[in-house]
Amino acid sequence: MVNQTKTFNTHKNYIDRSHLLTEQTNELSKNLDMLTSEELVKLFCSEDIIPQQAVANAAKEISIAVDLIYKRLQFGGRLFYLGAGTSGRLAVIDAAECPPTFCSSPELVQGIIAGGYSSMINSSESLEDDYSLGVKDLKAKEFSSEDCLVGITAGGTTPYVTNALAYSKSIKALTIAVACVPSEQANLISDIDIRLITGPELLTGSTRLKAGTATKMLLNILSTSVMIKLGKVYGNSMVDVSASNKKLIDRSIRILNRLLGVDKNKCMKLLEASDGSVKLALLLGSSNMSVNSAKRHLEKHGNHLRPALESIGESLVD
């Protein structure tokens, strides 16, 4: 566990960030403490439309990021999200959801938060000021030029993140910066610069609100889009889902039932024969292949189900 310095020193720790968009006052909420509960909820609902537009405005950069991350992961690279505080928590959450959703290795997509996993439930905000810690955390993961880094800093000035981005770029890893302020307010070293401009927060400076919402939306899009390109989806079904609990076993059976058009008893037998692999079960149910032959056929097609089926003249009920 990293020790946090608790000595307060104004001159040592003060940096004027008043110019940052994320630190400015939202004119709509100057009387926030005087609003009724109904007025508060309506105001938050109206403001929470803004993150959607912010992500849409960055669609070009996000699309480029998806393609470049996919290319790295195709050839053995890994995807890392890195952040402090709220940004780090969102990073860890999105990475943790990839294995059960896409049956991906836990090493393929990883979230790094300043202070480690204890920071998921305990405040460790002072660690975001540590210039060297982000680089140390990357090196501990053996981060290399083959990998991808998405560095998340809402205000664009978090030393933990900015120094990690600079290091990532210096070793020629794919480097993607994510911030919620314009580039002229905070320059970030990166290959791709994604700006989610969500404006001042209703609670001044609380970037867990609109900035956090936009960041979560972005990470959803990045990870899901990359996994789709890696062949972990057929149509809109998660055919690489990990059938690891009752809910996911039920979902797996429903996917087989819908795409193969066979009864649930047959679906369960296929799922058992494929040792819980929905993708393999779909190929088995569409052909006369043995389990081993089906596995080899999938591997031949890069574990992409659609071309594997098309090569034998088969398709599923989309």
Catalytic residues: 97, 128
Around 286, how many Cα atoms within 13 Å sit in the side-chain half-sphere? 26
Reduced DSSP (H G I as helix, E B as strand, rest coil) percent helix, strand, coil of the chain, to 5: 50, 10, 40
Contact yes or no for 158/84 (Cβ under 8 A): yes
Considering only CA atoms, which of 261, 316, 238, 252 is closest in space to residue 283?
316
Do 235 and 318 meet the contact criterion of CB atoms below 8 Å apart? yes
Phi, psi angles (nearest 5°) of residue 303: 60, 25
Q: DSSP string of 118-186? A: GGGTS--GGGGG-TTHHHHHHHHTT--TTSEEEEE-TTS--HHHHHHHHHHHHTT-EEEEEESS-TTTS
Q: What is the DSSP string of 222-283?
A: HHHHHHHHTT--BTTB-TT-B--SHHHHHHHHHHHHHHH---HHHHHHHHHHTTTBHHHHHH
Half-sphere exposure of 218 (CA within 13 A, CB side): 39
- Sheet (strand 79-83) strand order: 109-113, 79-83, 148-152, 174-179, 192-195
* Phi, psi torsion values for 237, nearest 5 degrees: -100, 140
Are residues 2 and 134 in contact, defined by beta-carbon separation less than 8 angstroms? no
Per-residue CA distances from 223 to 61, 73, 94, 97 (Å):
15, 11, 8, 10
Three-class SS state of 34: helix
**What are the tokens at 22?**
């994320």
